[in-house]
């Protein structure tokens, strides 16, 4: 579907947990070949809820959990390397400088998802907080390779509409 790496924010994991049909189709397309979707480790912590079986139990093994050593190794050098100290510093700078919407509080997990996405040559962050993530992306000097997709716009993307921010 795309040469961009898809990075899932908690909003996408929640949509998959709720078995949203557009989210499930996008996920299936992303896992059929190329780079699997990336889930930053803090995003997984934010979205995971206990239970013997949940839809996420099936989804997570099909993703690269960024920041975790995995066997087999992820398909790209960025994912193999995992987090760096600079990732945390960059996310912290974003929290201090990004113009997030007034009614929202800065979110370290969202900022880190954008930093992880920016380390890839081209990435799309799928989120339920598009304005927040766009603010973080716009604050990054190397954020031009990152696009933002709102969960409600997934069906539009799959239909060929221009919905990326």
Q: What domain count does the chain have?
A: 1
The CATH number that applies at residue 118 is 3.40.50.1010
Q: Is 134 among the domain residues?
A: yes
The pTM of this model reads 0.85
Dump the DSSP string for 57-82.
Answer: HHHGGGSEEETS--SSPPSSHHHHH-
Q: What is the DSSP letter of 35?
A: S
pLDDT in tens, the chain (165 residues): 458 899 999 999 999 999 999 999 999 988 887 789 999 989 988 888 877 667 888 898 889 888 777 667 677 888 877 888 888 999 999 999 998 888 888 889 999 999 999 999 899 999 998 999 999 999 998 878 999 999 999 888 888 999 899
Q: Within a domain: residue 165?
A: no
In a domain, 65, yes or no: yes
């Amino acid at each position: 579907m795309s040469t961009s790496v898809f990075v899932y924010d908690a909003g996408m994991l929640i949509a998959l947990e709720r078995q949203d049909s557009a989210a499930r189709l996008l996920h299936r397309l992303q896992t059929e070949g190329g780079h699997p979707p990336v889930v930053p480790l803090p995003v997984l912590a934010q979205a995971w809820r206990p239970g013997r079986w949940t839809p996420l139990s099936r989804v997570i093994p099909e993703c690269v959990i960024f920041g975790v050593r995995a066997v087999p190794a992820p398909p790209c050098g960025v994912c193999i390397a995992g987090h760096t100290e600079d990732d945390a510093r960059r996310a912290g700078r974003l929290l201090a400088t990004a113009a997030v919407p007034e009614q929202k509080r800065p979110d370290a997990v969202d900022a880190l998802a954008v930093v992880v996405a920016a380390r890839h040559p081209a990435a799309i962050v799928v989120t339920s907080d598009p304005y927040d993530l766009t603010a973080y992306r716009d604050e990054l000097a190397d954020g031009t390779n990152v696009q933002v997709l709102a969960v409600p716009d997934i069906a539009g993307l799959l239909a060929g509409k221009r919905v990326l921010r």
